[in-house]
Chain A
Amino acid sequence: MNFSRGWLTLVVTIAVGCQAEQSTIPITNSQDPSRSDQAKEVDVSLALNWFPEAEHGGYYAALVHGYFKEEGLNVTIRPGGPKVPVIPDVAEGKVDFGVDNADKLLLLRAQQADVVAVMSPLQNSPRCIMVHKKSGLTKLEDLANKKPFTLAMNSGQPFAQYLKKVVNLDEIQVVNYPGNVAQFLEQSDYGQQAYSFSEPFLAEREKSDPLCLMLSDIGFNAYTSILVTRREMVEKKPDLVARMTRASIKGWKKYLAEPDQSNKYIHEQNPEMGLEILAFGVNALKPLCLPEGFEETQLGAMTAQRWQTLLNQMTEIGLVKPGTLKSDETFALQFLNTATSVVVTPK
């Protein structure tokens, strides 16, 4: 057993060593014949689903630290905002790659947008309901018995529909999400939708006592900030997709370890996003990207089972008609294996 393990390690180390060597050789001198036709840099566009913030950190890190350039990719990152149609634009070919969330992808696939996910930097969703610590609530199920209570969330969103299905919200008042934390700061029997790396910081800064009740705790855990592209790219230009995925994963590893340079760049792109909240964001992202028991080498991984679970949940809440989607058509895992297995953080 130990003997064959030793041989395997040797083979893997050699393979890794070859990979590492290749990435330091300038593109024009490459001895690998499969890379000779990629001597020119390829222009690639990446569309974000919101204004630049910590949840896009890894992609910006790949840009700032030159990982995209190393792979021969000249990437332009297109910032997003409210209601920006990332996945439709990817489906139409207006942008090559996009960043969005898994539930959105399923909704659009149900409308025949043939876009697939290739990588997910976050393993657990930051989606949560932010309540006050002094409210005494410890889990989402407690909302069923809390009276009086106001919950601000956009009820049309998949997570909100799922929450309504799993927890009885008839006793509390559900209102539209106002887009800011002002009401939260004023009322103590108030909860609102939030991302764990964002709104709690704003509340804490105003001396409040926010507590995040994670949607993933009741089982709704959509992959977040996933890298998506259209199926045509996966089939006709797999090498390009592999390079993009590889560089993005490397960027995310770098972002989680050394975010300062990337955060500075993000702040320049989005002055509204302060350096403090970005730093807070990175710390909040670490347990989401690399949860307990999850190896750093696996960053970006997705499982078929998670996708099937999400599809089942979305069908259950009536957002996807049963039988219209096959979960294994929504993702492509082959590009994850090409990522280097070098561990960045010392043990």
Chain B
Amino acid sequence: MILKRIQSWLINEVVPPVVLFAIVVAIWQWCVVAYRLKPYLLPSPLAVGQAIYNDASLLGRAVVYTGSAALCGFFASLVIGTLIAFVFAQSRRIRSSGYPYFIFLQTVPIVAIAPLIVRWCGNGFQSVVLVAFILSLFPILANGTQGLLEIDPNLLDLFRMNNASRWQTLIKLRFPSAVPGLLAGARTSSGLAVVGAIVGEFFVGYGSKRFGLGYLINTTNDQLQIDRLFAAVLTSTLFGIAIFGLVNLISVTILRRWYDGPVEDQK
């Protein structure tokens, strides 16, 4: 049963994007050869592959640092986002007074905030986590608040009829109802946390010997080694996809076990 599941997953979810990737790479290689593009403009896929192979251990170490910062930022936004969502769900007035500031956090360009963060919190891991947190907070907050507010009114009445306390309603009704919304927010947030960690690293350093993917992207760009730059960017993308896939997997598992499953299953 599980084997068939994996087989169908591979054919439907894995093979198509891989085939598309192979086609894109082939076109890319053809363009480089046919138009005789020089490496400083666009490296060939072979050159990028070579760079990945050469930099493998460097990229691996960078992924560890960036990944840790991203995951810390993501968990922080999960916890804090959920807490704030609960507070927001309590009263309309609190929502209307607080929401605009979080929207502000979402829209202000991070390249403007990051230098300020460095000045106030210094260089180091904590500042990168802070940038990742700021970038990934909003989706969880927005989706969590919405999930908490959209409760089936009949269930609310049921709880009220049974004299449930505010706390009981919160834990046994509101929170479970909010989980699908939180998971939807978490899927978006996970990708944003990775972006936040990388962008944070453009401005913040970890210290002399440690460096993340953002640092590699910046330095290979400064050193005009475009093939290594592509390698770093590709690694960042793949890492982001991996995190997204992992969060998605957890989300689908939770939804299948305790709920009616994700929306695609329900149709």
Provide the residues of chain A in CB contact with B204, threshold 8 Å: 176
Provide the B226-265 mask, 1 if CB < 8 A to any CB of A, else 0: 1000000000000000000000000000000000000000
Closest CB in chain A relative to B259 CB, distance in Å: 45
- Contact partner of A175 (CB less than 8 A), chosen from B39, B205, B220, is B205
Interface residues of A in 176-200 (CB under 8 A from B): 176, 178-179, 182-183
Q: Would B123 and A175 count as touching, CB distance under 8 A?
A: yes
- Contact partner of B222 (CB less than 8 A), chosen from A156, A173, A182, is A156
- Contact partner of B40 (CB less than 8 A), chosen from A113, A155, A176, is A113
A158 at the interface (CB under 8 A from B): yes
CA distance A62 to B215 in the complex (A): 40
Q: Would A179 and B115 count as touching, CB distance under 8 A?
A: yes
Identity of the chain B residue whose Cβ is nearest the Cβ of A161 in the assembled complex: B223
A-B contact count (CB 8 A): 66
Q: Would B222 and A91 count as touching, CB distance under 8 A?
A: no
Q: Would A154 and B222 count as touching, CB distance under 8 A?
A: yes
Q: Would B218 and A156 count as touching, CB distance under 8 A?
A: yes
A157 at the interface (CB under 8 A from B): yes
A104 at the interface (CB under 8 A from B): yes
Q: Would B223 and A319 count as touching, CB distance under 8 A?
A: yes
A170 at the interface (CB under 8 A from B): yes
Closest CB in chain B relative to A261 CB, distance in Å: 36
CA distance A88 to B38 in the complex (A): 10
CA distance A88 to B220 in the complex (A): 16
Identity of the chain A residue whose Cβ is nearest the Cβ of B202 in the assembled complex: A176
A112 at the interface (CB under 8 A from B): yes
Provide the residues of chain A in CB contact with B207, threshold 8 Å: 173-174
Given A111-B39, A111-B226, A112-B39, A176 and B220 contact (CB-CB distance below 8 Å): no
Q: Would B38 and A91 count as touching, CB distance under 8 A?
A: yes
- Contact partner of A108 (CB less than 8 A), chosen from B202, B215, B224, is B224
Provide the residues of chain A in CB contact with B226, threshold 8 Å: 111
Provide the B107-125 mask, 1 if CB < 8 A to any CB of A, else 0: 0000000010011000100
Q: Would B40 and A174 count as touching, CB distance under 8 A?
A: no
Q: Would B118 and A88 count as touching, CB distance under 8 A?
A: no
Q: Would B119 and A174 count as touching, CB distance under 8 A?
A: no
Identity of the chain A residue whose Cβ is nearest the Cβ of B203 in the assembled complex: A176
Q: Would B40 and A111 count as touching, CB distance under 8 A?
A: yes
Q: Would A113 and B38 count as touching, CB distance under 8 A?
A: yes
B34 at the interface (CB under 8 A from A): no
Q: Would B205 and A107 count as touching, CB distance under 8 A?
A: no
- Contact partner of B224 (CB less than 8 A), chosen from A111, A173, A178, is A111
Provide the residues of chain A in CB contact with B218, threshold 8 Å: 154, 156
Identity of the chain A residue whose Cβ is nearest the Cβ of B37 in the assembled complex: A112
CA distance A155 to B208 in the complex (A): 10
A233 at the interface (CB under 8 A from B): no
Provide the B148-164 mask, 1 if CB < 8 A to any CB of A, else 0: 00000000000000000
- Contact partner of B38 (CB less than 8 A), chosen from A112, A170, A173, A176, is A112
Closest CB in chain A relative to B262 CB, distance in Å: 42
- Contact partner of B220 (CB less than 8 A), chosen from A110, A156, A174, is A156
Q: Would B220 and A111 count as touching, CB distance under 8 A?
A: no
CA distance A176 to B217 in the complex (A): 14
B219 at the interface (CB under 8 A from A): yes
Given A112-B38, A112-B39, A112-B40, A170 and B208 contact (CB-CB distance below 8 Å): yes
- Contact partner of B205 (CB less than 8 A), chosen from A83, A88, A176, A183, is A176
Q: Would B39 and A176 count as touching, CB distance under 8 A?
A: no
B41 at the interface (CB under 8 A from A): yes
A140 at the interface (CB under 8 A from B): no
Provide the residues of chain B in CB contact with A88, threshold 8 Å: 40-41
Identity of the chain A residue whose Cβ is nearest the Cβ of B115 in the assembled complex: A178
CA distance A319 to B224 in the complex (A): 9
Identity of the chain B residue whose Cβ is nearest the Cβ of A155 in the assembled complex: B219
Given A112-B39, A156-B220, A174 and B115 contact (CB-CB distance below 8 Å): no
Provide the residues of chain A in CB contact with B224, threshold 8 Å: 104, 107-108, 110-111
Interface centre among B40, B115, B220, B226 (most CB of A within 10 A): B40
Closest CB in chain A relative to B225 CB, distance in Å: 8
A169 at the interface (CB under 8 A from B): yes
Given A92-B41, A176-B204, 6 extra CB contacts under 8 A: A107-B224, A111-B226, A155-B219, A170-B209, A173-B207, A176-B123
Q: B interface vs A, CB < 8 Å? A: 38-41, 115, 118-119, 123, 202-205, 207-209, 215, 218-226
What 3 A-B pairs have minimum CB-CB distances, sorted nearest first?
A156-B219, A111-B40, A156-B222
